[in-house]
Amino acid sequence: MAQMSRRTCLAGLAAAATAGLPTGPAIAQDKAAPSLTPTILPPDPNTKTPTYKAPAGAVDTHTHIFGPNAKYPYAAKRSYTPHDAPLEAFREVHAKIGITRAVLVNATVHGLDNQVIVDAIAQSNGAYKGIANVDETTTDKELLALTEAGFKGCRFTFLGRLGGRPDMAKFNTVADKIKGYGWHVDLYLEPAIIEEFVPILQKLPLPYVIDHMGTIKAAGGLEQKPFVALVDLIRNDEKSWIKITGPERMTATGAPYADTVPFAQALIAAAPDRCLWGTDWPHPNVPAMPNDGVLVDLIPQFAPDPKQQQKLLVDNPVRLFGFAS
């Protein structure tokens, strides 16, 4: 049986919304799909209870749901195959680390099919928002359906291992399309292109969020050119937001990622009202799997002032993603 198309899923969503019913079609695996043997590490199954207690209403602004493939098949054209990391497992991790709200970023392994995130948001009673995968062919009807389902933006990856740079003309077409829906663009950049992208981002007609502290490498130090350019951009462009996420991707020393703390502190100091925190669970394509309890215990090191913790975890994401105050 062929995989259900993105357009079919969204048409079903629109119809269900009219009827007031949740969605969740059963989708069979395409027999021609590549092997389902995982090519990346699974998340740590033994989440530690962190010492740090997050404030009420804290938001994890960067997470993923993977499958399960039997219900939400992975795209045939994908750069990696994950272990299933379904909604139930995600909820268990959040219960352990004391986080109640989240932004679910649809991963490239699901292609343009956003149904896994649509369904998770529908079951969250307002606790989840979404970041979609769309392209220049996505229609206004589809964007409206996604907006009504709780999506607040779409993601673009600019990493060689995830397919490289998208066509910039198509990128600009999508940016123009989504701005009328109150969306932002979420950007996964490599450090080598940050300086090149500064003028491009400054000209964008809508807000943008940079993932994982720009994936800067801590070994390069605070004065490395990509990080200096990133700090200046975040400080000076009021449309910019930065995710204080991914220390496991930046570190040269490993857990508990002390070498990433000065970078987080510098970004928070540059734009205290436009910084966001997240875990990146289940941590696709990391060199060594982190423990989410350890990541939570970095928060008071990143932001020692409780007032800044409140901004980072609650006030800033509430403002950007439209969570209830």
User: Which residues form the catalytic set?
Assistant: 280
Radius of gyration of the chain (CA): 19
Please name the helix (run of DSSP H) or strand (run of DSSP E) that holds residue 151, with its range, or none.
Answer: strand 151-157
Beta bridge partners of 157: 188
How many Å apart are CA 171 and CA 156, to the nearest integer?
8
Name the region of 150 (left: φ>0; alpha: ψ -120 to 50; beta: rest): left
HEC readout, 94-149: HHHHCCCEEEEECCHHHCCCCHHHHHHHHCCCCCEEEEECCCCCCCHHHHHHHHHH
Antiparallel, parallel or unpaired: β 184-188 and 59-63: unpaired
Which DSSP state fits 79?
A: S
Beta bridge partners of 105: 131
Between CA 239 and CA 244, with CA 241 as vertex, the angle to 5 degrees is 170
Q: Which residues contact 33 (CB under 8 A, 6 or more apart)?
A: 3, 73, 74, 76
Q: How many residues does the chain have?
A: 325
